[in-house]
A and B are shown apart, each in its own frame.
Chain A
Amino acid sequence: MRRRVLTVVALLALPVAGGAAASGPADELLEAEMAFQSSARRADPKTIELRFAVAPGYYLYKKRFQVALDGRPVRPEALRLPRGQMKTDPTFGRVETFRKSVRLLISVPPTVGTHAVQLDVISQGCADSGICYPPLKQRFRLLADGALNDRPESLAGSGFAHRAPGSGSLSKSLTR
């Protein structure tokens, strides 16, 4: 009996040994949507501007951005991104990252400027505390007059679906 009580006391004194105990920085971490706050607008009839405000202690990977316009993946040459900060990855070597903020300029066909469009964006980033977020997929709806939905929708899935151009849909077979 005494031994069991001592064991109980010992377990209580051991923070990691509690029932399904948890550890790590999870409680202090921001939701991905808060760590990487995004917004979109029409910069001009041929350009859509996408902005990310990156919270202190967090960063986004340059090569992880993917954009689709009305369901069609945007070609890399139609995306303009600034030079990022170099970071050394244990496997991939030196990679470019963005801190504080980043602005993407997306070249669109002139006809896009005359009607409402749906912009799907995948971004992915990490925190300096030693964790990474899964790819964050968000959807913006830009109206013909340049207005847009106030906040992007977060979508399920890990990538853009390989669907017929113009279908405007994303795979929802996987969830984030």
Chain B
Amino acid sequence: MNRRPLLFALSGAGVVIALGTIAVLVGHEDRPKPDPHLTGAALMATALPDTDGRRQSFAQWQGKVLVLNFWATWCGPCKEELPMLARLAPELAKDGVQVIGIAADSRQNVANFVQKVPISYPSLIGDAGAIELSIRLGNRLGALPFTVFVDRKGDVVYRKVGKVDEEEVVKMSSIAAKNQ
């Protein structure tokens, strides 16, 4: 039995599939897809109180890359990464990247904590509602720390359960900033 035509047909099909795959990839923009959990509009419509009790709307940061860090004073790993974020935030701000802390904690606990460990970026109080918000942003178990990188359109491009390191924050902020 001559297998040449069959082999030829199979290799031809392989080429077609490969080209099709590349076409699909190229057809899509080479950027992360929007997160399905929470739309950018819904996020921008969210408001939470700060440590002084004033409600802060996310809309004020519209057009910026956001690094949302969910934490709590009862979360040891969260407190380990805060000094790094506090040090990095002013530098990132120069590139249009806004770091925002969202505490799954009470205002009093956070106020006491920031007296010991100053935080150089906005610190919002979500109490248990912060956990719900983090779940809507893809934090399946509601575990902390949880950090989300949001591009200028309000779409989540990266999320991390557990501590982030400095290199990761810089890298993901840069990727989110390039995501037009």
Residue of A nearest to B132 (CB): A175
CA distance A80 to B116 in the complex (A): 32
Q: Does B158 contact A (CB under 8 A)?
A: yes
With beta carbons under 8 angstroms apart, the residue of B32, B35, B74, B158 that contacts A132 is B74
Chain A residues whose C-beta falls within 8 Å of the C-beta of B161 in the assembled complex: 22-26, 29, 131
Classify chain B's interface size.
Answer: 35 or more
CA distance A156 to B128 in the complex (A): 9
Classify chain A's interface size.
Answer: 35 or more
Closest beta carbon of chain B to A111's beta carbon, Å: 33
* A1 lies within 8 A of B117 (CB): no
B23-57: which have CB < 8 Å to A?
25-26, 30, 32-36
* A5 lies within 8 A of B26 (CB): yes
* A21 lies within 8 A of B143 (CB): no
Q: Does B142 contact A (CB under 8 A)?
A: yes
Q: Does B145 contact A (CB under 8 A)?
A: yes
State whether A133 and B80 are in contact (beta carbons under 8 Å apart), knowing that A23-B158, A91-B73 are contacts in the complex: no
Residue of B nearest to A91 (CB): B79
CA distance A18 to B175 in the complex (A): 10
State whether A31 and B144 are in contact (beta carbons under 8 Å apart), knowing that A124-B74, A130-B162 are contacts in the complex: no
* A26 lies within 8 A of B140 (CB): yes
Q: Is the interface of B mostly helix, strand, loop or mixed?
A: mixed
Q: Does B124 contact A (CB under 8 A)?
A: no
With beta carbons under 8 angstroms apart, the residue of B25, B33, B79 that contacts A5 is B25
B135-180: which have CB < 8 Å to A?
138-145, 155-163, 168, 171-172, 175
* A133 lies within 8 A of B142 (CB): yes
* A133 lies within 8 A of B132 (CB): no
4 smallest beta-carbon distances between A and B, as pairs: A19-B33, A158-B128, A24-B161, A174-B128
Measuring CB to CB, which residues of chain B are less than 8 angstroms from any residue of chain A? Answer: 22, 25-26, 30, 32-36, 72-80, 104, 113, 116-117, 127-129, 131-132, 138-145, 155-163, 168, 171-172, 175
16 contacts between A and B (CB under 8 A): A4-B26, A5-B26, A8-B26, A16-B158, A16-B175, A20-B35, A20-B138, A21-B32, A23-B159, A90-B79, A91-B79, A131-B161, A133-B143, A133-B144, A158-B128, A175-B128
